[in-house]
């Protein structure tokens, strides 16, 4: 089951951190509980480094989240990617959605803080 934390920061940004399994078994629940009525600031930071497993439903949920962010006139920035999402993106050529970075290894490395 995925865990979602949404933090409204003082620097006019919203941080959305997703950890755990983002699969068909929880995608609808995550959408309804966290993203359907989400309030966003000017910049939305997506921390996806804690996603341990993802499937098509999870990817659709993330793309839908990016669409919601754009519709609410917020810009999004992916601040971290996990190995599961990186592997899935590479396998199905979805890098245009998740990878805007020159050095992917910097983005996929998990910090000590994210491990806890």
Say what the pLDDT of residue 27 is. 93
State pLDDT tens for residues 7-36: 999 999 999 999 999 999 999 999 999 998
Lowest mean pLDDT among 5-9, 63-67, 106-110: 106-110
Edge-first strand listing for the sheet containing 3-8: 3-8, 13-22, 43-54, 75-81
pTM of the model: 0.81
β-bridge pairing 3-8 and 13-22: antiparallel
Please determine, for residue 107, whether its predicted confidence score (pLDDT) is greater than 70. Answer: no
CATH architecture of 3-115: 2-Layer Sandwich (3.30)
Higher pLDDT, 11 or 108: 11
């Amino acid at each position: 089951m995925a865990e979602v934390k949404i933090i409204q920061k003082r620097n006019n940004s919203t941080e959305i951190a997703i950890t755990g399994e983002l699969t068909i078994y929880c995608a609808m629940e995550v959408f309804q509980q966290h993203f359907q009525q989400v309030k966003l600031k000017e910049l939305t930071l997506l921390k996806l480094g804690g996603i341990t497993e993802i499937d098509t439903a999870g990817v659709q949920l993330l793309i839908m989240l990016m669409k919601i962010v754009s519709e609410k006139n917020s810009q999004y920035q992916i601040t971290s990617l996990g190995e599961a999402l990186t592997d899935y993106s590479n396998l199905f050529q979805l890098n245009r959605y998740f990878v805007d970075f020159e050095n992917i290894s910097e983005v996929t490395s998990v910090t000590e803080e994210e491990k806890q």
